[in-house]
């Protein structure tokens, strides 16, 4: 039981980081960025290329992955989202197409076989009687540092408050002097960074392979929909629910059922409370 509790807490912190980037785009841009999982996949491969194939320091690999994530987010907004402004269906379809294209590109460059990432920090430590790898422990600590920094940025800076305003009422924010396009561009860049960083940690926890983007995308969709649009608190709480569910299912039942309860959770919340457990009611 202690092992499940500790593993659930650690995995949930990583899931919270992954879902946070998806939540930003969903709440501010009102767009389902279906390429978000591909940001994680590309981030993982960039880290693999820099740190294991080129032999550069791991911090350089992480920094390179984050930089590529930012660039992907910015380019996606400039070249596609802004061009298709107002047509959310076209934007969402384009993000899915982009994910497939990125997967094909990775297969072309790295092949379709899975890769094993060396632990960012090797070794095992005992926490409250449970065996935990330093890799997931460090990944979780960094995830929480980034989440808290993001929360402080959103709550305590002018740009962060502008992001909140655009999330609540884009037209009202524009009238008050805020540039929604600039805020959306910043948001897509931050989302790309969070996705790529989460991808490095996720791939080091599991494996690196071209279709790995599907699993974190499902996790992100589940956490954001169940938690509620624009709710950081909801995202954090539901990330822990999903994390614990996965650990329990893998430990007690079969790993093949990993995503089943998550999908059932989405369906149940959509039926009973479409705005999510902690989301605000949509006004028209």
Q: What are phi and psi of 209, to 5 degrees?
A: -155, 155
Q: What is the pLDDT of residue 188?
A: 94
Q: Are 98 and 72 in contact (CB under 8 A)?
A: no
In 3-state terms, what secondary structure has residue 132?
strand
Question: Both tokens of residue 272?
Answer: 């009973």
Q: Which of 176, 173, 204 is nearest to 187 (CA)?
A: 173
Show the tokens assigned to 204.
């080091």
Q: How many CB atoms lie within 10 A of CB 41?
A: 29
How does DSSP assign 41-86, residue by residue? HHHHHHHHIIIIIS---HHHHHHHHHHHHHHHHHHHIIIIITTTTT
Query: Which residues lie closer than 8 Å to 35 by C-beta, 6 or more apart?
Result: 76, 95, 96, 98, 99, 102
pLDDT reported for residue 9: 83
Distances (CA, A) of 247 to 66, 89, 251, 263: 27, 35, 6, 16
3-state secondary structure 199-234: HHHHHHHCCECHHHHHHHHHHHHHHHHHHCCCCHHH
State residue 1's pLDDT score. Answer: 67
Q: Return averaged pLDDT per consecutive 10 residues of the chain, 284 residues in all.
A: 78 89 86 90 96 94 96 92 81 90 94 89 82 89 93 91 88 89 93 94 90 87 78 82 79 64 71 66 46
Question: Given this model, what pLDDT does residue 41 score?
Answer: 95
């Amino acid at each position: 039981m202690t092992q499940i509790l500790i593993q659930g807490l650690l995995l949930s912190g990583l899931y919270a980081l992954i879902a946070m980037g998806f939540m930003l785009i969903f709440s501010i841009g009102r767009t389902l960025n279906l390429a978000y999982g591909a940001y994680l996949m590309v981030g993982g491969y960039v880290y693999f290329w820099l740190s294991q194939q080129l032999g550069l320091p791991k911090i350089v690999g992480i920094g390179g992955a984050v930089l590529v994530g930012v660039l992907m987010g910015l380019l996606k907004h400039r070249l596609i989202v802004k061009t298709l402004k107002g047509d959310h269906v076209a934007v969402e379809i384009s993000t899915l197409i982009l994910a497939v294209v990125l997967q094909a590109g990775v297969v072309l460059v790295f092949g379709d076989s899975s890769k094993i990432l060396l632990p960012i920090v090797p070794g095992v430590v005992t926490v409250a009687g449970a065996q935990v790898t330093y890799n997931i422990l460090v990944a979780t600590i960094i995830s929480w540092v980034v989440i808290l920094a993001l929360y402080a940025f959103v709550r305590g800076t002018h740009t962060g408050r502008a992001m909140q305003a655009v999330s609540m009422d884009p037209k009202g924010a524009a009238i008050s002097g805020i540039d929604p396009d600039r805020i959306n561009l910043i948001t897509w860049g931050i989302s790309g960074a969070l996705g790529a960083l989460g991808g490095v940690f996720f791939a080091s926890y599991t494996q690196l392979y071209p279709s790995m983007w599907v699993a974190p995308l499902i996790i992100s969709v589940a956490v954001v929909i169940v938690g509620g649009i624009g709710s950081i608190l909801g995202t954090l709480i539901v990330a822990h629910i999903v994390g614990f569910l996965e650990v329990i299912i893998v430990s007690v039942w079969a790993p093949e059922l990993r995503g089943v309860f998550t999908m059932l959770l989405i369906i149940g919340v959509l039926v009973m409370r479409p705005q999510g457990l902690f989301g605000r009611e949509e006004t028209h």
